[in-house]
Structure 1
Amino acid sequence: MIKASMSAVPDLIVSFLILAALLAAPTALMAKARQKPWPLRTGLAAYLAGIVAVTLLPGSAGLEPGQCDTGIPADVLTSASSLLNIALFAPGACLAVLLFRRPVTVAAAFGCLSGTVELIQSAGHLGRACSLTDVAANAIGAVLGSVVGAIWLYQRQQLPRRLARDLLWGVSLAAVTIVAGAEIFHSRIDSVDVVAMDDQRHNLAESAVEADEWMTTAAKGIYGDDLQVRGTATKKYGDRLKVTMETNRGTISGWWPEKSLESAWSSNTRGDEGSLSQAQVAAAADEFAHKWFPEDVAGSKQRSRAIGDGATRAYVVAYRRYAHGVLLPMRLDLTVTTAGRVIGFTARTVKDPELPSVTIDEAKARHLAQAETGLPTDSTLLLAQRIKGNWRPVWLVGSGKQDIAIDAATGERIGDEG
């Protein structure tokens, strides 16, 4: 609350002087006209002008209108901001107790004033940040000021007026303020936990640094120690970070905190004029895959196929895993030259899902697809697919230009919306 005003001291002083003149001068004149002591009343009026100037002076807080910070920082009552807010309300409450001699009512009234100020900050387009921490600090300041005022009265043998009535009024005002404030905050104000947001930003920044270090290590391991990093892009997906790194040797991307590589492509994708056979290329790919993708390779089947021809041909070495004949969602494809150089890879690291038993065999799946389309079937594939959030064994049956998806556990056709 106060920090936003301290950055605009000249405007604060001018605003205070104007408000003080508008409040204190009439208060003094009215007190004199009623033959009442005017210094204390005038001082309280000037102090209230100061509270208004400090709390409602336009600023540049980060929250939008209609929002309020409900986060509780670790230094909730010991931070400089909280101590300033306590000090802001304590003297005013003390002056009010000396004037009205009703400490309980004064404490409740100043607490109500604090809540009203925060609501105005939230609802108004003032660029000020509503904060429940400020309300708590102001309320503590009001109580401390009221206690000091009550002690001063006691020492001067000026007992509070009608203590029972003061207690009743004060407790009633505090109860009404709490209930009404809670209802307004709940129905009209959006809660924003700035403390949690700050913690998330801090954790994200730390994670981004750690992810960048991990990706740099992986890139050097794949492309060589003389690699030069040209740039890193980090994007947040829920609790995960996708890191993409550009280097002088190529690109590489992966996921943090899983430390799971997703893809990499060398800037030099031209095949090498090597002498390795297809079996030797597959062995080189296997060594690379076991080093960088041990979880994906475990239990997988390897297949390779040539791309291109001649001396610069390369091979795509694919790894797939099956469970009871069902192709699982894990994927790993390496592109390797005849010199054993991995020029690129794409990986999909997914934990093997638990699937219901397959009850529909290939022949039954073909029959169901043909009955559905009236066309002869020409291909089938049994794989795991996520259907409405659940993994299912699915037959993909090709029927001319139309593919039919059939649940291999129930025999039901899976629509496009699945």
Structure 2
Amino acid sequence: MFSAIFQDRIGFLITAAVAALALGFAGYKAARRYGTRPYAYAGLAAVLTAETAVTLFMPGGGYSSHNCVINHDIAEPFATAQGLLNLAMFVPIGFLGVLALRAVVPVIAGAAALSLVTELAQTLVPGIGRGCDSSDFLMNSLGGALGALAAWAYLRASRHEIKLNAHLRPTVIASGTVLALAAIAAGTWITPQHLDSTSLQFAGNDEKQAAQKAMNDAFGDRYSVANVQVQPPWQNSPGSLLIALADEQGNASLTWPDAKELTVTFETTDKTTSASFPVPGADEKKPVDADDAYEIAETYARRYFPAALSKSKHFVDPVGEKGELGWMVSWRRKNADGVLMPLRLDVQINTAGRISQLLTSSTEDPKDLPKVSVSQKTAEVTALKSITAEVKGTKLKVADSSLMAVERSGEWRAQWLVTFEDPAGETFLTVTYVDAATGKAESR
């Protein structure tokens, strides 16, 4: 994770290290002058400089969003690399703070105040753009408290005099002032976003086994899973497992916990590599047209996903402006009422005749779908009225509509998916679902 955060920022790291050493030395000299614990003050000055540099001055930030995520899952950051890193970053602040100041409560309160100010600055100050998250504040504050208590225990064991409640009155006054100012800033300029989870989480054995099984089902024993992270559900998106393959052969994602939909990427350019999957039985034949690509993809599908071929129609489309990325072979199935079923298979065959990308959904065809009673034209009119009411002032027209099976709160429904475009022909990001039985519209 360290390399992912600080990659391409060597210059910043050197600058931050020099600044931390310089201010650490300044803290040492000042403490020596006044005769109080110079090494502790030097360390405290250095770690405070490092924390400020990493959280407020590291390049790569964006605009000030004025949003703050309120994570309802208090336990989540304890299962994430980011959460543990936030905790670890403040442990030395708490530890060295107590060694330098010989006070516990002010240091704990100061660490929490520092984290609070940092989070507010990250979302309010232009150019920082690192976002505000309640989980970060929680882990920072906890790290500071753990470090402070560890230093208190160390000093007690070393028979140094120290009191837990030293400087209590000024600490309360200072903390109250910071809280009041933070509350004013939050109430005036910040919009809270309440979420049930915010970060990637560590995977357990069940998740790792599911990831490896999905890869084995799709490609035999050719690929090994190197790392798995859990992406919790967010808004209308399901949870998923983010999978990194061994030897940097590619990456994948698997919907979780249903483990129904697998997406795999081995290559994203026109350069074919050994990471792509050679289809058994296809004899590494290089396709020259769509028919050749279909033949290879069908050979793969019959071996690994034969259910996707039953009563399905296939489509072959070139990938890339000139087909330089190969061909995408897709299978889709509709029921007797023309409703598109959730089962799907997309196989991208590169110019070397190997699989470069795959998407498969193994969801069974839903039974007993409500009868379709809303026509396509009626659905489009309803959808256009609905979206117009939501985005007043923007003229839109229907771009396309299709009838598909969609799962809503554990129940499968037949719904019209309607997409829009503006007068310039630009695609509008929001789509509208119209229930094919009730006619109720819902935009997403």
Q: TM-score, normalised by structure 1?
A: 0.48
Q: TM-score, normalised by structure 2?
A: 0.46
Higher helix share: 1
- Greater Rg by CA: 1
